[in-house]
Structure 1
């Protein structure tokens, strides 16, 4: 057996090993080594189609590995600091939204969440305007029936980033750290809603404590 044939068998073994990987980062690393070894074999054998394929896959595997490692590192840091979704942008798709457009309505089936890049958006039922750099729609991922609890409308044209819940699940299974981060994000949103509800209850109690106030509030 020549050294070129040995390289070819090594490339085949690495391809099989890569297919056996259960997690994405080891799979990408094996893929990079496989691409390099396959390039050496294809070059010496004059297999130009194989060379072309591996020359494309090598930088692709490298970029994806770098993205996943950066994601893990950023999530670890973010889990100990303020909540931000900036690191999720490379995994999201950009979408332009016109004023008056409804991104989702209350009761709709929920299958994705959004990150506001530009423009203005409002949660109609709560009357809350969302600033830029805000995540919205993530609560549908956790709801038992995966239904929207609010209506999100665009009140000034802009751009949003979207990611489907299926993609969120993939990120979770590939990186358990992401699951912890997502739990913190949704927990913060729940506590915000609870605080808003408690403030509204306190306001109504103050109204009922003052004779005639409720009647005046209703009449207005």
Structure 2
């Protein structure tokens, strides 16, 4: 049948080869086609808002609009099509049979449509096979064109979605980086005072409670390092102290640079022995670096004030007690650990 159709099409439509693709695939029947379809199709009266079919519903008929307009809604963010008189749709249901509809078809105003099932279409083919062959050719080309448009739309949507996800990733990364910069000391990478405050706030909001031990660390003779060897040497000293504290801290602890050459180490879970062990480790690591002869110093002695923490008190009291112990360590010559008086009685 296809060869017969193609021969008659060439005989009846000599200008097809030169017809623009847009004209070939346009879903409007010619006057001759419309008259032929009207002769064999069954008229349906639709009120505004009536549905012919819904997306996903199997169908085996096609439709031609006589009057009014039909809206095809393909869902999601695809373009809604509105068809008018002499335009046709649903032809895949007729040609394939029980084909799932790809859109909702709804009358936007009172309308009249022609419905053609398999039997009506077969009589139409028997009556004028040449005209039907031309219609089928246009229909196939229109289906291909529509699929290509749909593919382009989906590709563009996927591209837009990928771009949006990339932007979201970049924004999230920037926010995370910004948040870390806000709470992190730029020179040492330890938490700064704001990071410490956020850590204490997080402690209060969890079931683990407040930290239990505090070491307050201050560099001895740090001004002398800066004066004699320059600020770059001073920076190296601060970074070395930070590395030592970082190696002592567990995931639950927090090492911070409070400012200048003053540091602290908050231990989430501690008793006198574990806090003493952490302080001795810091002093031992410092002594180990001091024993390495270098042209420019990368460490200096440190003094440490230690105290165990009472959960019902706050940071200001913790700091005051540790700072008093630190002062005593400095007064005794530095390079040592000193406990706050409140902690000495703790077993």
1:34 alignment partner in structure 2: none
Q: Assess, with a 3 A threshold, how the Cα gap between structure 1 residues 78 and 168 changes in structure 2: closer, same or farther.
A: farther
Q: CA deviation at 1:78?
A: 9.1
| Counterpart selection for 1:100 from 46, 49, 60 | 49
Q: Give the match for residue 110 of structure 1.
A: 59
Counterpart of 1:136 in structure 2 is: 89
Q: Distance in 2 between matches of 1:203 and 1:90?
A: 43
- After superposition, the Cα gap between the structure-2 partners of 1:105 and 1:202, relative to the gap in structure 1 and judged at 3 Å, is closer
Q: Which has the higher contact order (CA 8 A, sep 6+)?
A: 1
Q: C-alpha distance in 1, partners of 2:60/2:169?
A: 40
Partner of 1:87 in structure 2? 35
**2:96 match: secondary structure:** coil
1:174 deviates by: 4.4
SS in 1 for 2:148: helix
2:116 to 140, 150, 163: 163
Aligned to 2:115, what secondary structure does the other structure show?
strand
1:154 is displaced (CA, Å) by 0.9
Shift of 1:179: 4.3
User: Are the equivalent residues in 1 in contact too, given 2:40–2:121 (CA < 8 A)?
Assistant: no
SS in 2 for 1:193: helix
Partner in structure 1 of residue 101 of structure 2 = 148
Q: Any idea what SS the aligned residue of 1:212 has?
A: helix
Verify the 8 A CA contact 1:115 1:133 in the aligned structure 2.
Answer: yes
- Residue segments in structure 2 that go unaligned for 5+ positions in a row: 1-7, 171-347
More displaced stretch, 196-205 vs 155-164: 196-205
1:79 and 1:181 in contact (8 A); partners too: no
* CA RMSD between the two structures: 3.4
TM-score scaled by structure 1? 0.53
Residue 12 (structure 2) aligned to one of 48, 53, 76 = 76
* Contact preservation (8 Å) 1:113, 1:162: yes
The separation in 1 between residues aligned to 2:40 and 2:71, in whole angstroms, is 24
Bigger Rg, structure 1 or 2: 2
Where does structure 1 lack aligned partners over 5 or more consecutive residues?
1-71, 216-220
Which residue of 112, 118, 121 maps to 2:70? 121
Task: Give the direction of change, closer, same or farther, for the CA distance of 1:176–1:209 in structure 2 (3 Å limit).
Answer: same
Point out the structure with the larger helix share: 1
Q: Which residue of 2 aligns with 1:212?
A: 167
Once the two structures are superposed, what CA deviation does each residue of 1:108-152 show, in whole Å capped at 9, x if it has no partner? 342322111222211122522223321011111223644433321
1:79-134 Cα shifts (integer Å, max 9, x gaps): 93655232322322332210111112234342322111222211122522223321
Matched, 1:190 2:182: no
